[in-house]
Every structure is written in structure tokens, then in C-alpha cells.
Amino acid sequence: MKSISKYWSIFQITLINSLAYPGELVGRSLMIIPFMWIFYQLWKVTFSAAGAADGMINGLTLRDTLWYLMLAETIELGRPPIARTMSENVKDGSIAYILNKPYDFLLYQFSTAMGETIFRAMLNAVFGGLTVWWLVGTPNHPEGFLIALPAIFGAWILHFSINAMIGLSAFVVEDVSAFTWIYQKLAFIFGGMLIPLDFYPQWLQNIAKLLPFSSAIYGPARLFVTPTLELFISVMSLQITWIIALTFALAIVYRRGLAQLTVNGG
Amino acid sequence: MKEFKFLFAIWKTNLQSAMEYRAAFLTQAIGMMVNNFIYFAIWIIFFDRFKDVRGWGVNDMYVTFGVLASAFGLVSLLFGNAFNLSDIIAKGRLDYYLSLPRPVLLHTIASRTIASGMGDFLYGFVSYGLSGYFTWDGLARYVLATLLAATVFAAFLILTQSLAFWFGMMTNFSNLVLNAMLTFGIYPITLFDSYAKLILFTLIPAALMGAIPAEFIRAFTWQTLGELLLGAIGFLTLAIFTFRMGLRRYESGSAIQIEV
């Protein structure tokens, strides 16, 4: 219990810290507005050209697609750059001061990451949501947001696990920017961040829906626009499987990485 | 001529400095090329499913994405500090450049090379090669269009980041307009109505970095060349003027700055 309260305190401190510069927080979140506007332009033309009688493409309307993309962007833009932070810690030597403190390194990183994520994601959801509301109206299932909440939280755990593994590779290669770019783009494609996976060719959908990227982006966003019990069970069970597998892999990578770490200065 | 010699000397030093960490340089350059390939796959999937957007197909996207990547990469390689000029201004780091007998703006922005820019620059040529529009005279137009698009992009960065002379730290604003420029530059211009197009030629000149250079590469017309030249000269003049106006207001504290 005492150890949980330790990480809860770290989470709270980071959460309060993230509010220290409200201008910075708001400014960063405004980025979602041009993204949603351009998505609207693209999908409005695409839906109109597709000319489906029921206004749907593979089960999604223009409104569903825009709200789906809003949540996908919120998840992506809300998460802090863990891998880069860890890499910086290794490069400037400050990792030495984090590792010798009486807390678990990974749980410390997770608590700070969640603390940074909450308000960032909330503001992205507010600005993104208002933009999409103005462009296409309210979501068809507003209650979907509450149903998707556990999946959104699970998505952040998945993002953390993968990013922490990339960050830990800094123990060996120091600069991890190339890996973070590639991970981000894989998440764009296999997570369905710019195009919902439902619009992909069937063979690619089948592959993408099994990968962790879809559990981190597509699953929660699709659950938001079509909140059915069947989808909830399917999204959550796949997500939990990936969370268990990736946190296990993360623990192994951390132990191995620690043995190879060389700190230059600090 | 003297300034060109000076520029080449800086670029040579930057390159030698980057090559000191050869593995990191190559990782970033190759990593960025792979990153661009993966990102572009999204457009291949999109156009495979929906064929075209108001007459704009995947081949047009190859050229647009290519010229935008090359222009972005060129500015990253040669004028890397243009991306954090507002930080340099707000933190008083212009002192170093002001104390030396070379043009302040040129010296400041050319003093940094972003290694990943090499990946972007080269990727653009590959993308053009894959577009199906490749011809030898088209390649010459590609090079010219990249130079002009890079001029517009560098000028846009200088212009927006120079606002730090008046408003102080503006990292968020700089990131916002940079992202808007790149995002709008990549998307098909046929998506936008005439009001949006006006914005894309003026406030956020993304059309002059993506769609118009791409149009010029596909087929030569005096009109597109004129638009590109006018945009490059106009934005560069405005950027230099704004920087000089701002420089009159510049003040710094007594912090000791070290430029490495």
C-alpha cells in the first residue's frame, strides 16, 4: 500500500506540474484544430466521391469517421515523449540520479508519464471535440466516450510499454530518435490513425487488427463511435493480452539494459 | 561572393562536426528515409481504396511529398537553426552572432545542421523517381523547384520565429505553424476552396512548398515558375525585413552563453 502511495504522489506532483504553464499546455493542444479541419476536408470529398446510398463507407459515416479521428489524435497527441526523455536522461547522465532513488525506475517513469498525459489529452479532446462538433455535429453515441475510457487508459499503458522499450535502447545506442519516428509511423499505419482500419484492404485489416498498434489507437477510437458490448469485449481482451505481453517484455529489456548502461558524466 | 565563401565554410564545418558522430548521422539519415517510406504507405493505401481526390492521384502525391521532403531536408541540413530561431532570440543567444563581423541572420541560421535532413532530402528524389513523372528535364525542374520551395520554407520559418523579438518565447506557436505548413503542404490542393487556397498562398504558404512546385515539376509553365519565384523572393524579403526590424528591439541579459 505504501509503495502504491509513493507512485500516486509522483503522479500527483507531475499532474500539478503540468498545470504550471497553462499557456504552454493550451498552445500545444491547439495543434489538433488544423489537423481535424484538414481531415474534414479530405473525408468530406472522399465520402462525396464514394457516393454510397446510405452515406456510409464500410459501416462508418462521415460523422463517425471524424469523431473516430478526433479520439485517435487525442490519444496520440496526449502521450508524452517517454522514449526521448529516457534517451536525454542517458545522454546527459541524469539517469544516474534517477536509478539510485528508492523507487522502481519503470514505475516512476509510468507515474510521471500518466501525470503529463491527463491534462494534455483532456485539452486535446476539448479543442478537437469542439472543432469536430462545429464541422459535423455531435457524435452519434456520446455515451461511447465513457465506454471507451478503459480502452483509452489501456492504450496509454501500451504506448508507455513500447516507448519505454525504445527509450531503454538508449542504454545501448544513446540516440533513439530514428526508432521513435519509425514507431510513430507504424502506429499511424497499423493503428489506423489517419485512415480507419475499416477502409483498408481485408488482408491488411486482418494483420493490423492483431497488432498492438490497433489496440492502442483503432480499438478505443472505434469503440467510441460504435460502443457495442461485443466490440468492448473484443477490444479489451486483445488489449489486455498485449499489455501483459509487452509489460513482461519491458521488464526483461530493462534488466538486460541495466547491465549494459554506461553513464558519461552527469 | 564573400558571403557565399563564408556560407560554404560554415557548412563544411557543420558537416565535419556531424561526421564526428558518423554512426549517429547515418542512423538519423537512414531512419528518416525509412520513416518517410512508412508514412507514405498511408497515401498508397488511401489511393488504392479511393483512387483519386478531385483528380489528384497517388502519382501526384509522390511528387508533392517528394519536393516537400527535399525542401524540408535542405533547410534542415543547411539552415538548421531556422527551426529554433525564436529560442535563440528569446534566450539572448544572438549576442554571440552580433559580436562577430558577419551577417547576423545568415550566420545564425546556418550554424546548425540537422542530420536527419539528409534522409528527407534524398527521400524526395526517390519519391520523384517512383512517381511515374520522371524525365531528365523534369529532374532539372525538380532541383529548381526544391530550391525555391526551400527558400519559401526558410523564409516562413525566419518570419514566424522572428516574432519572438516582440512576444518572447513562442515555441508552441512556432511548432503550431510549422506543423500546419507541413500538413497543409502534403495534402492534395484540390481539397480546398478558394478562401482556403488564399490562406495557403499567403498566411501559411504551404501551396508554395508542395502543390505549386509539384505542378511545375510535372509540366513547365511560366505561370507556376512565376508564382514560385514571386513567392520565394517576396517571402524572403519580408522575412529579412522582419528580422531586421526585430533586431532593433533585441536585448539580452547578462547570462553567459556558450556556442558549441
Cβ of A45 within 8 Å of Cβ of B53? The answer is yes
Mean pLDDT of B160-185: 84
Note down the domain range covering B179: 2-247
Residue in B24, B32, B45 nearest the CB of A200: B45
Task: Compare CB distances from A50 to B32, B42, B50 and report the shortest one's residue.
Answer: B50
Whether residue B258 lies inside any domain: the answer is no
Burial class (CB in 10 A: 0-12, 13-18, 19+), B9: exposed
Minimum-distance CB partner of B35 among A50, A185, A195:
A185
CB-CB contact of A230 with A170 (8 Å): no
Write the pLDDT tens digit of every residue in B37-54. 989 999 999 999 888 888
The pTM (predicted TM-score) of the whole model is 0.86
Question: What is chain B's mean pLDDT, rounded?
Answer: 90
- The answer to whether the Cβ–Cβ distance between B172 and A178 falls below 8 Å is no
Confidence (pLDDT) at A28: 77
Q: Which of A182, A194, A200 sits opposite B38 (nearest CB)?
A: A182
pLDDT in 10s for each residue of chain A, 266 residues: 667 888 899 999 988 988 887 877 887 788 889 889 989 988 998 998 887 767 788 889 999 999 999 999 999 888 888 888 888 887 777 777 888 888 888 898 899 999 989 998 999 999 999 999 999 999 999 999 999 999 999 999 999 999 989 988 877 776 788 888 888 888 889 999 889 999 999 999 999 999 999 999 999 999 999 999 999 999 999 999 999 999 999 999 888 877 777 665 55
Instruction: Name the residue type at position A19.
Output: L
Q: Is the pLDDT of residue B75 over 70?
A: yes
Q: How far is A232 from chain B (nearest CA, A)?
A: 27
- Where exactly are the structural domains of chain A? 2-260
Q: Which of residues 158-197 of A touch B (CB under 8 A)?
A: 173-175, 177-179, 181-182, 184-186, 188-189, 194-195
pLDDT at B180: 84
Cα B7 to chain center, whole Å? 18
Distance CA A167, CA A1 (A): 29
Which helix (H) or strand (E) segment holds residue A180: the answer is: helix A177-191
Flag whether pLDDT at B30 surpasses 80.
yes
| pLDDT band, residue B255 (cuts 50/70/90) | low
d(CA A179, CA A54): 42
Provide the β-strand partners of residue A61: A56
**B45, B183, B190 member nearest A34 (Cβ):** B183
- Give the Cα separation of B87 and B91 in Å (integer): 6
Question: Is B68 a domain residue?
Answer: yes
Nearest CB neighbour to B45, from listed A45, A177, A195: A195
Q: How many CA atoms lie within 13 A of A218 on its CB side?
A: 29
Q: In angstroms, rounded to a whole number, what is the distance separating the alpha carbons of residues B46 and B27?
A: 29
Interface predicted TM-score (ipTM) over 0.90: no
How is chain B classified by DSSP, letter by letter?
A: -HHHHHHHHHHHHHHHHHHTTHHHHHHHHHHHHHHHHHHHHHHHHHHHHH--BTTB-HHHHHHHHHHHHHHHHHHHHH-GGGGGHHHHHHTTTHHHHHTSSS-HHHHHHHT---THHHHHHHHHHHHHHHSS---HHHHHHHHHHHHHHHHHHHHHHHHHHTTHHHH---HHHHHHHHHHHHHHHHS-GGGS-HHHHHHHHTTS-GGGTTHHHHHHHHS--HHHHHHHHHHHHHHHHHHHHHHHHHHTT----S------
Task: Considering only residues A59 and B241, tell me which one the structure prediction assigns the higher pLDDT.
Answer: B241
Task: Give the closest residue to B158 by CA, choosing from B134, B174, B146, B145.
Answer: B174
> How buried is residue B65: exposed, middle or buried, by Cβ count under 10 Å (0-12/13-18/19+)?
buried
Angle between helices B136-161 and B58-78 (to 10 degrees): 60
pLDDT in tens, A165-196: 998 887 777 678 888 888 888 888 999 988 99
Return the residue in B22, B25, B38 with the most chain A beta carbons within 10 A, the one to mutate for interface testing: B38
Of B28, B53, B179, the CB nearest to A46: B53
Identify whether the C-beta of residue B218 lies closer than 8 Å to the C-beta of residue B63: yes
> Does some domain include residue B56?
yes
Q: Look at residue B157 and tell me whether its pLDDT is greater than 90.
A: yes
Query: What pLDDT sits at residue A260?
Result: 73
Minimum distance, in Å, between the CA of residue A141 and any CA atom of chain B: 27
pLDDT band for position B198 (50/70/90)?
confident
Contact across the interface for B191 and A195, Cβ inside 8 Å: no
For position A254, what pLDDT does the model report? 86
Burial class (CB in 10 A: 0-12, 13-18, 19+), B226: exposed
User: CA-to-CA distance for A236 and A215, rounded, in angstroms?
Assistant: 8
Residue range A118-140, pLDDT digits in tens: 998 999 999 999 999 999 999 99
**Is B253 contained in some domain?**
no
pLDDT of residue B256: 64
- B214 pLDDT higher than 90: yes
Report the pLDDT averaged over residues B181-210.
85
pLDDT at A139: 93
Q: Is residue B129 part of a domain?
A: yes
The model's confidence at residue B238, banded by pLDDT at 50, 70 and 90, is very high
Contacts of residue A181 in chain B, CB cutoff 8 Å?
31-32, 35
Cβ-defined contact of B42 to A199 (cutoff 8 Å):
no
> Sign of the CA dihedral A85, A87, A92, A93?
positive
Interface contact A51, partner B, CB < 8 A: no
Q: How far apart are CA A112 and CA A81, in angstroms?
A: 11
How many CB atoms neighbour CB B91 within 10 A? 17
Predicted local confidence at residue B139, as pLDDT: 96
Is residue B167 assigned to a domain? yes
Residue in chain B closest to A24 (alpha carbons) equals: B172
Strand-pairing partners, residue A57, are: A60
**Does the pLDDT at position B18 exceed 60?**
yes
User: How confident is the model at residue A123, as a pLDDT?
Assistant: 93
For residue A27, list chain B residues with Cβ-Cβ distance below 8 A: 172-173, 176
**Per-residue model confidence (pLDDT) at position A253:** 87
Calpha distance A149→A173 (Å, rounded): 36
Q: B101-120: b or e for each residue (b if 16 or more CB lie within 10 Å)?
A: eeebbbbbbbbbbbbbbbbb
pLDDT at position B92, please? 87
From chain B, the residues in CB contact with A190 under 8 A are none
Tell which wins on pLDDT, A35 or B195.
Answer: A35
B56 phi/psi in degrees, rounded to 5: -105, 115
Q: At B258, is the pLDDT very low, low, confident or very high (cuts 50, 70, 90)?
A: low
**The pLDDT value given to residue A2:** 66
Q: Is the model's pLDDT at B135 over the cut of 90?
A: yes
pLDDT at B104 over 90: yes
- B89 within 8 A of B246, measured Cβ to Cβ: yes
Say yes or no to pLDDT of B259 above 70: no
In this prediction, residue A171 carries a pLDDT of: 75
A31's CB contacts (< 8 A; 6+ apart) are: A77, B175, B176, B179
Kindly determine whether residue B53 and residue A42, on different chains, have CB atoms separated by under 8 Å.
yes
Residue B260 lies inside a defined structural domain of this protein = no
Q: How many domains does chain B have?
A: 1
Cell (9 digits) for B121: 532530402
Instruction: Report pLDDT for A234.
Output: 93
pLDDT of B254 higher than 80: no
In this complex, is the C-beta atom of A38 within 8 Å of any C-beta atom belonging to chain B? yes
From CA B78, how far away is CA B14, in angstroms rounded? 9
CA atoms within 13 A on the CB side of B191: 25
Higher pLDDT, B154 or A80: B154
Confidence (pLDDT) at A66: 96
- What are the E-state strand segments in chain A? 56-57, 60-61
- Residues of chain B with C-beta less than 8 angstroms from the C-beta of A175: 24, 27-28
